């Protein structure tokens, strides 16, 4: 079976089980889950790869295209869910309940209801860290809890300040939490044993996942239009970089930090997008490309995400997905969503070998296109009768997709032939 035939088979397979994706009919109304899904799904890896927040893999979908498994999360009794993915588990939070599924087959491996509402979680190995909300002596407070999944018991608890509604994050050795102290916002680091290692005055919670490199913590404080780097041992600021106005995306590619950000002119009339590469250790600028933006008088083009390999980067905005050469910022190809569809917010494009997956949806339907990195031509379109939320992730040998009415699908992936040194996807042009 050749590559193109395999994709045609994939399309037939996917459309063959669309009714199970839960589109409402006259006798099946949408459940209370609709509109209650938290789209901020998170991936936490046990080890930090060369690239962070940059879903680019030398993998491909298997030729038989048969799902490894498919589950409807409503069958587990969930009304709300906020998926958090680790290398081998899927964590789902519904108010006081935490449900854990296996990434291998979707089976239930843990199910626990806690005494208080779970605001956010962060699993590390067999430990689960939870931030819960409850009333304290001086009003609303939050608590950080360490829970042993294997033993099934709480092992420690720390009182925090006011919850800032930011996710717990970890580098595998410490847990990082933002809270409101008596006088200012704080970023606090706790060891896996619950002991506080340091606390510093914070410029704001993160607007995107924290990135970790050797002795650095890198993140974007909400609303400050900056990227800052902190020392992991002390929390003290090492460098900051003014990235510009509006929505942006920060990812790690090897030793470089890639920043995609909007800019506007002094009259706030027009502008564009900046692609910037920084040294992750020092914040020093390596290169800079200024790209056009499709602004109108009443609407700005927003940056959704930037995904790259060693040669090409694909910038996704609210209106276009455009591939650029990293060397000189030259446009390779560009595409727009179909009429009546929008690109899925917060869902980064995923590079699989020499192709890229592009996701678009409306309230009733989702489209997933596979485009050639070299010329942007579509080699696959899969259509689903449900809205795709920002829960598409690659973990190990699985591609996970999550839909508005609760269906989660895991598609098997396989390694490609040995990756060329330059991954020459542009050599075909």
Token pair belonging to 326: 């990293």
> Among residues 189, 205, 221, which one ends one of the domains?
205
Q: Is the domain of 75 the same as that of 192?
A: no
In a domain, 97, yes or no: no
Q: Which DSSP helix (H) or strand (E) runs through 10?
A: helix 3-16
Q: Is the domain of 243 the same as that of 326?
A: yes
Q: Is the domain of 199 the same as that of 296?
A: no
Q: Which of 129-138 are b and which e, b meaning 16 or more Cβ less than 10 Å from the residue's Cβ? A: bbbbbeeeee
Q: Is the domain of 213 the same as that of 198?
A: no
In a domain, 54, yes or no: no
In a domain, 163, yes or no: yes
CB < 8 Å & 24+ apart, contacts of 382-387: 382/10, 382/11, 382/14, 382/15, 383/14, 383/15, 383/18, 384/14, 384/18, 384/21, 385/18, 385/19, 385/21, 385/23, 386/21, 386/22, 386/23, 387/361, 387/362, 387/363
In a domain, 294, yes or no: yes
3-state class (DSSP) for residue 131: strand
- How many structural domains is the chain composed of? 3
Q: Is the domain of 9 the same as that of 73?
A: yes
> Among residues 336, 366, 392, which one ends one of the domains?
336
Q: Is the domain of 366 the same as that of 410?
A: yes
> Among residues 336, 365, 391, which one ends one of the domains?
336
Within a 10 A sphere around the Cβ of 35, how many other Cβ atoms? 8
Specify the pTM: 0.81
Q: What is the pLDDT along the chain (429 residues), one digit of tens a residue?
A: 444 444 444 444 444 334 333 332 333 333 333 333 444 455 554 444 456 888 888 888 776 668 899 999 999 999 887 688 888 899 999 999 999 999 999 999 999 999 988 989 999 999 999 999 865 555 567 899 999 999 999 999 999 888 777 889 999 999 999 988 777 889 999 999 999 999 999 877 787 789 998 889 999 888 778 899 999 999 999 999 988 766 788 998 888 899 988 877 666 666 788 889 999 999 999 998 888 777 766 677 788 889 988 788 999 888 899 999 988 888 999 999 999 999 998 788 999 989 999 999 999 999 999 999 999 999 888 888 999 887 788 988 899 998 988 999 998 888 887 554 444 444 333
The pLDDT, as a whole number, for residue 298 is: 67
The pLDDT, as a whole number, for residue 92 is: 93
The pLDDT, as a whole number, for residue 196 is: 96
Q: Is the domain of 218 the same as that of 190?
A: no
Q: Is the domain of 211 the same as that of 169?
A: no
The pLDDT, as a whole number, for residue 63 is: 66
**Short-list 10, 21, 61, CA closest to 380:** 10
In a domain, 104, yes or no: no
In a domain, 253, yes or no: yes
Which position has the token pair 């092992």? 155
In a domain, 107, yes or no: no
Q: What is the CATH number of the domain that holds 195?
A: 2.40.10.480
Q: What is the CATH number of the domain that holds 283?
A: 2.40.128.630
Q: Is the domain of 200 the same as that of 290?
A: no
In a domain, 181, yes or no: yes
Q: Is the domain of 80 the same as that of 159?
A: no
Q: Is the domain of 353 the same as that of 401?
A: yes
Q: Is the domain of 192 the same as that of 148?
A: yes
Q: Which residues, including other chains, have CB under 8 Å from residue 320's CB and lie 6 or more apart?
A: 294, 301, 334, 335, 336
Question: Which residues constitute the domain of residue 287?
Answer: 206-336
CA 70 to chain centre: 21
């Amino acid at each position: 079976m050749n590559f193109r035939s395999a994709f045609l088979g994939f399309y037939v397979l996917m459309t063959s089980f669309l009714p199970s994706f839960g589109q409402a009919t006259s006798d099946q109304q949408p459940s209370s889950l609709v509109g209650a899904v938290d789209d901020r799904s998170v991936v936490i890896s046990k080890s930090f790869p060369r690239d962070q927040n940059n879903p680019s893999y030398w993998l491909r979908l298997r030729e038989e295209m048969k799902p490894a498994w498919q589950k409807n999360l409503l069958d587990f009794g969930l009304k709300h869910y906020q998926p958090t993915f680790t290398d081998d588990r899927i964590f789902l939070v519904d108010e006081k309940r935490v449900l854990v599924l296996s990434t291998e087959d979707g089976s239930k491996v843990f199910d626990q209801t806690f005494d208080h509402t779970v605001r956010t979680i962060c699993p590390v190995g067999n430990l689960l860290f939870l931030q819960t909300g409850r009333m304290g002596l001086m009003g609303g407070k939050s608590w950080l809890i360490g829970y042993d999944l294997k033993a099934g018991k709480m092992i420690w608890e720390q009182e925090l300040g006011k919850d800032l509604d930011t996710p717990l994050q970890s580098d595998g050795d410490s847990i990082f939490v933002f809270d409101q102290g008596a006088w200012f916002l704080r970023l606090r680091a706790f060891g896996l044993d619950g002991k506080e290692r340091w606390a510093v005055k914070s410029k704001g919670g993160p607007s995107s996942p924290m990135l970790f490199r050797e002795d650095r913590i890198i993140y974007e404080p909400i609303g400050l239009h900056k990227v800052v780097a902190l020392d992991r041992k002390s929390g003290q600021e090492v460098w900051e970089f003014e990235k510009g106005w509006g929505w942006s995306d920060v990812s790690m590619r090897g030793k470089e930090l890639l920043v995609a950000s909007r800019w506007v002119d002094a009259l706030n009339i027009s502008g564009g997008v900046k692609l910037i590469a920084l040294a992750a250790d020092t914040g020093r600028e390596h290169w800079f490309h200024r790209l056009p933006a499709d602004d109108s008088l009443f609407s700005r083009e927003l940056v959704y995400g930037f995904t790259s390999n060693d040669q090409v980067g694909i910038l996704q905005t609210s209106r276009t997905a455009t591939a650029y050469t990293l060397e000189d910022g030259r446009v390779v190809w560009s595409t727009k969503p179909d009429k009546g569809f929008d690109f899925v917010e917060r869902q980064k494009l995923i590079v699989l070998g020499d192709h890229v997956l592009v996701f678009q949806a409306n309230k009733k339907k989702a489209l997933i296109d596979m485009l050639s990195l070299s010329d942007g031509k579509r080699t696959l379109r899969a259509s689903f009768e449900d809205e795709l939320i920002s829960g598409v992730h690659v973990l190990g040998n699985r591609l996970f997709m999550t839909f508005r009415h609760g269906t989660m699908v895991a598609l098997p992936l396989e390694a490609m032939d040995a990756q060329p040194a330059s991954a020459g996807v542009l050599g075909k042009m």
